[in-house]
């Protein structure tokens, strides 16, 4: 006799088959899943939501990921690099408005000039904020030396999204060559952990060729990797990419969104004290997408501090929201969304993952 949904939900550890059942939840089971996740969030991370002021530093990328609008092979975007003064203006805004942290995100580059530019920005942001602003980087695969240099100069969180943990599917959404190596990406995540970063990853939900079993495997991957933070959301196609030819294989957008909510909820239950972002892609499909994600387990929001003039050229996917909102408008909008969700903002706090704090303090004791 198959197990009841409620019995599976109460388990401490989930198998892949358990996760498939949870991901297929509908009706009362779906409501029970979300209610349980909300309770776990309240108990283990509370109702504070932490701001990460996002600067999309550059859309220049050396990679050709088949799903991405800023891939190197796409000739249409105007390539840009935000200036040092513009980054520091964003840092000043973040500091003056009580954001505890910033995120610097860019296309993947590892040339000496880019690495030096990021190092310099880290130093300047730390100096400007007197060390008060936490800094997250999301700049892909780098050498161990680069990761260490950036860590030593003030970056303390790093996000590399694996996008899918299934090797076969990985090579359906990336070129199969040395520049897009599944094992290199996995090793980068492990390297970041060894250096001392808060380590983050994430996946896309609703890719062509992706199954419920793949998503269940993604959840187990994140748990086994013991990540500190996760950013994941629905896959949204972009017509200027090779993967667009498979658009007819995609789930409906509302199905991708609903599955994304389930992924957030289940991961909150599985990894009770990590940080989980309410991603912009969720709002691209549902106007209240980020509020809904907060209600089922997310606790991180990333207001966009990128100067408006650059935003249309940082389109990883289509229908990206908030392209014309300046930093103040974005802040006000997100504050309202957070309060609607019943949460409060952790102003002036780094908001490091409780999982990271626990993990690193226990290792010091050991």
Q: What is the pLDDT of residues 309-342, one digit of tens each?
A: 999 989 877 777 767 777 777 777 878 888 888 8
Structural domains of the chain, with CATH: 41-365 (3.20.20.70)
Measured in residues, the chain has a length of 366
What are φ and ψ of residue 298, in 5° steps?
A: -75, 155
**Contact present, 285 and 317 (Cβ < 8 Å):** no
Q: What is the pLDDT of residues 156-185, one digit of tens each?
A: 999 999 999 999 999 999 999 999 999 999
Q: What is the pLDDT of residues 181-215, one digit of tens each?
A: 999 999 999 999 999 999 999 999 999 999 999 99
**What confidence tier does 1 reach under pLDDT thresholds 50, 70, 90?**
very low
Angle between helices 16-23 and 253-270 (to 10 degrees): 130
**Contact present, 276 and 36 (Cβ < 8 Å):** no
**What confidence tier does 365 reach under pLDDT thresholds 50, 70, 90?**
very low
**What confidence tier does 366 reach under pLDDT thresholds 50, 70, 90?**
very low
All residues at 6 or more sequence positions from 38 whose CB lies less than 8 Å from its CB, including other chains: 295, 296, 297
Q: What is the pLDDT of residues 236-291, one digit of tens each?
A: 999 999 999 999 999 999 999 999 999 999 999 999 999 999 999 999 999 999 99
pLDDT of residue 241: 97
DSSP 88-122: HHHHHHHHHTT--EEEEEE-----HHHHHHHHHHH
Closest by CA position to 338, among listed 304, 299, 284: 299
Partnered with residue 159 across adjacent β-strands are 200
Q: What is the pLDDT of residues 35-74, one digit of tens each?
A: 999 999 999 999 999 999 999 999 999 999 999 999 999 9
**Contact present, 141 and 108 (Cβ < 8 Å):** yes
Closest by CA position to 160, among listed 184, 141, 135: 141
**Contact present, 262 and 295 (Cβ < 8 Å):** no
């Amino acid at each position: 006799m198959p197990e009841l949904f409620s019995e599976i939900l109460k388990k401490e550890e989930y198998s892949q088959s358990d996760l498939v059942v949870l991901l297929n939840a509908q009706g009362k089971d779906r409501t029970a899943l979300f209610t349980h996740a909300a309770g776990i969030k309240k108990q283990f991370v509370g109702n504070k939501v932490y701001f990460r002021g996002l600067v999309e530093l550059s859309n220049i990328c050396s990679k050709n990921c088949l799903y991405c609008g800023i891939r190197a092979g796409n000739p249409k975007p105007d390539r840009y690099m935000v200036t040092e003064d513009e980054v520091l203006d964003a840092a000043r805004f973040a500091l003056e408005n009580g954001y505890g942290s910033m995120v610097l995100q860019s296309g993947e580059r590892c040339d000496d000039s880019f690495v030096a530019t990021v190092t310099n920005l880290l130093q300047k942001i730390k100096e400007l904020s007197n060390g008060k602003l936490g800094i997250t980087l999301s700049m892909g695969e780098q050498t161990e030396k680069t990761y260490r240099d950036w860590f030593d100069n003030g970056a303390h969180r790093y996000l590399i999204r694996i996008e899918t943990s299934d090797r076969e599917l990985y090579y359906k959404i990336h070129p199969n060559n040395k520049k897009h190596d599944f094992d290199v990406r996995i090793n980068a995540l492990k390297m970041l952990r060894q250096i001392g970063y808060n380590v983050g990853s994430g996946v896309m939900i609703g890719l062509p060729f992706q199954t419920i079993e793949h998503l269940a495997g993604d959840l187990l991957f994140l748990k086994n990797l013991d990540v500190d933070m996760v950013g994941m959301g629905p896959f949204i196609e972009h017509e200027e990419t090779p993967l667009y030819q498979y658009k007819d294989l995609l789930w409906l957008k509302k199905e991708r969104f609903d599955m994304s909510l389930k992924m957030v909820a289940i991961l909150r239950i599985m990894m009770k004290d990590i940080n989980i972002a309410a991603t912009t892609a969720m709002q691209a499909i549902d106007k209240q997408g980020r509020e809904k994600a907060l209600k089922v387990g997310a606790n991180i929001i990333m207001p966009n501090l990128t100067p408006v003039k650059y935003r249309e050229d940082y389109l990883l996917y289509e229908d990206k929201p908030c392209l014309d909102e300046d930093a103040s408008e974005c802040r006000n909008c997100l504050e309202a969304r957070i309060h609607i969700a019943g949460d409060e903002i952790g102003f002036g706090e780094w908001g490091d993952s409780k999982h990271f704090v626990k993990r690193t303090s226990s290792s010091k004791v050991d």
